[in-house]
Amino acid sequence: MSLKLERVNDFVVKFANVNGSGSASANELFARSILRMGVPVSPRNIFPSNIQGLPTWYEVRISEAGRLGCRGGVDLMVAMNPQTWTEDVAGIEPGGYLLYDSTKPLPPSQFREDVHVIGVPLTELCNSVYTDPRQRQLFKNILYVGVLSALLDIDVKEIERLVGEQYRGKDALIGPNLEALKLGRDYALSHFDCPIGLKVRRSKALGDRIFIDGNSAAALGCVYGGATVAAWYPITPSSSLAEAFGRYCGQYRVDPETGKNRYAIVQAEDELASIGMVIGAAWNGARAFTATSGPGISLMTEFLGLAYFAEIPAVIFDVQRGGPSTGMPTRTQQADVLACAYASHGDTKHVLLFPEDPRECFEFAARALDLADRLQTPVFVLSDLDIGMNERVCEPLGWDDSHRMDRGKVLGFEELESGKEFGRYLDVDGDGIPYRTYPGSHPARGAFFTRGTTKDRYARYSEEGPVYVDNMERLIKKFETAKSLLPQPEERRAERPARLGAIYYGSTSPAMLEALGALQSQGIALDLLRVRGFPFHERVAKFVAEHDEVFVVEQNRDGQLRVLLMNECGIDPAKLVPVLHYDGAPITARFIVREIAERASLARVTPLRKSTP
């Protein structure tokens, strides 16, 4: 065997485990210990629709350069699940490493010649120390973290500190955990030449960045943004958002004097009721949101149409996943773009925001609450499982204390009392956004009847065609107004003028940026534009116009953002080249590079014979 991977602070470790075996906290301990050494990591849970028994993986990319996208390939496989052994071993890069439990001997046919095998009798070691079956199981996980600390030269002090923090208050658990850690580490140090070719070295690359999952960050954004009502129905991968909101509210939203809550959270009977409650609360002047995923969006669509027509603010977090039913839904996709953009019956269009990481989940959550009030319409925050449920290294969350909630155009008692004209659907300012009143504001003025379509500028019932058209035209004007209020697209120009461009959004960011560097080194100049909101800012169409061809990089089958670009900006489909990744795993830089490089080189081929006139 000649090749041996030699890498410092730049490799991928993958853990293959059995769901419910207690591996998750040990794996997270591993990832966090590297973070504590100042080296960025990006872990990803790949989990089944199951609580116990099915295969689950935890993949950690260690990257001093801060590449947080999924790389593809594995440099060190910790193969703890016999069920998936074959595919796990096959996924290792040539020259990579395989750590396994060697308690029971395996035939040579089960191994690869181009992979360095590290066998540790984990079960045997564990059984020699622990008698309780549950402890044997749990400490086996800590044991392999100890082994890895030696193999990869991780500072064991950092792990010990993390164990101390994790079990603070349950001190009895600290000792046995540290013991298991030492057991594994000592075994590795005395049996192998440590470190192996892969090594973690203390760094300052992480800086002051934080480590948080997108759902928690979004929940925190809702707390900061002033949401007081949350209604939700459990659905992976969004449930942790609503649950985190509950946790943060418990910390930050309890009246210190009375112990009473400045928030209300209802776990509704289904998604129809969730969005109904959000709409009811927002109609009545509270900031309200729901968190869901694709199937929930499907169920909410009737209500979303009503909210669009009746002009009621609502914030919907769609943590996207793969398709209907069960199974793929625990994998990631960006496949609800069209379903959200055009949700419901009748002529409807909705405002969408596309956060790229937890920091933007936080920022866009608070911003969505402002936008929904300002625009009086549903606003979707489209994240996905990849950023929603995985912890990610990102810039610290920031808040400007001078920020005040933008409650939009609301007439209160004073304005109504002063005799200011009120027409609920009257465009006073020419931006398509009318004024509204909250119920109960004034004894004699400002009351109106809320209904879907059939009303005039003063909210009076009318079934007349021109009155309907008048209202629909105003709604389009309001949608135009939205363009200038949404987060603007981010552009990144190549060093030299490029004829090719790429448009991407959401969780594709880290893979796209990594791909950019690789493409540059292949001599392919590419301009980038990251879409952050819909309706599209005018710069998006301009960007397309400036390039011969624009790749639209997405994580769905049908090129949904591409369809939206064609439909809303009137762009020639031939100019928009789809680059689509949708197998449920997060998109990788390798995939993007391959797709774009191939097409870029095809485009460079000179025709053999020029067409004759």
Partner 1 sequence: MTYLAKPKLHHPKLPVNRLGYTRRDYEGAVSTLCAGCGHDSISAAIVQACFELDLPPHRIAKLSGIGCSSKTPTYFLGNSHGFNSVHGRMPSVLTGANLANRELIYLGVSGDGDSASIGLGQFAHSMRRGVNMTYIVENNGVYGLTKGQFSATADKGSKSKRGAVNNDSAIDLVTLAIQLGAGFVGRGFSGDKAQLVPLIKAAIEYPGAAFIDCISPCIAFNNHAGSTKSFDYVRAHNEAVNRLDFIPAGGEITMQAAPGSLSEVPMPDGSVLRLRRLSEDHDPTDRTAALNYLRQREAQGEIVTGLLYLDPEPDDLHAHLHTVPAPLNRLGDAELCPGSAALERINAALR
3 state SS of 493? coil
- 299-338 residues in contact with partner 1 (CB under 8 A) are 302-303, 306
Q: d(Cα 216, Cα 251) in Å, to the nearest integer?
A: 14
Strand order across the 378-384 sheet: 264-267, 229-232, 288-292, 314-320, 378-384, 351-353, 533-534
Here's the x/- map for partner 1, 238-257, by CB under 8 A: it reads as: --------------xx-x--
CB nearer to partner 1: give 290 or 330.
290
CB nearer to partner 1: give 132 or 255.
255
Nearest to 63 by CA among 27, 24, 4, 13: 13
For residue 95, give the amino acid letter.
G
Q: 551 to each of 218, 409, 483, 519, how far by Cα in Å?
A: 29, 40, 23, 13
Find the part of the chain contacting partner 1 (CB under 8 A) among 112-120, 279-287, 291-299, 603-611.
279-287
- 371-430 residues in contact with partner 1 (CB under 8 A) are 396-401, 403-405
Figure out which of the listed residues 228, 292, 348, 509 binds partner 1, where binding follows CB under 8 A.
228
For residue 559, give every residue at least 6 positions away whose Cβ sits within 8 Å of its Cβ, in sequence order, or none.
552, 576, 578, 580
Instruction: Rule CB under 8 A: say whether 345 interacts with partner 1.
Output: no
- 188-217 residues in contact with partner 1 (CB under 8 A) are 208-212
Contact of 592 with 516, CB cutoff 8 Å: no
Q: d(Cα 388, Cα 504) in Å, to the nearest integer?
A: 18
Closest distance to partner 1 from the beta carbon of 378 (Å): 14
**b (16+ CB within 10 A) / e for 325-355:** eeebbbbbbbbbbbbbbbbbeeebbbbbbbb
Figure out which of the listed residues 46, 279, 352, 561 binds partner 1, where binding follows CB under 8 A.
279
CB nearer to partner 1: give 198 or 241.
241
Tally of residues, the chain: 613
CB nearer to partner 1: give 359 or 537.
359
Closest distance to partner 1 from the beta carbon of 603 (Å): 44
The encoded tokens of residue 362 equal 């936080």
Instruction: Rule CB under 8 A: say whether 361 interacts with partner 1.
Output: no
CB nearer to partner 1: give 310 or 512.
310
Instruction: Rule CB under 8 A: say whether 512 interacts with partner 1.
Output: no
Helix ranges restricted to H, 284-438: 294-310, 337-341, 358-375, 385-389, 413-417
Here's the x/- map for partner 1, 18-37, by CB under 8 A: it reads as: -----------------x--
- 430-469 residues in contact with partner 1 (CB under 8 A) are 437-444, 447-452, 456, 460-464
Instruction: Rule CB under 8 A: say whether 109 interacts with partner 1.
Output: no
Closest distance to partner 1 from the beta carbon of 208 (Å): 7
Instruction: Rule CB under 8 A: say whether 276 interacts with partner 1.
Output: yes
Instruction: Rule CB under 8 A: say whether 472 interacts with partner 1.
Output: no
Q: d(Cα 437, Cα 443) in Å, to the nearest integer?
A: 12
Figure out which of the listed residues 183, 229, 316, 585 binds partner 1, where binding follows CB under 8 A.
229
Contact of 287 with 229, CB cutoff 8 Å: yes
Here's the x/- map for partner 1, 281-300, by CB under 8 A: it reads as: xxxxxx-x------------
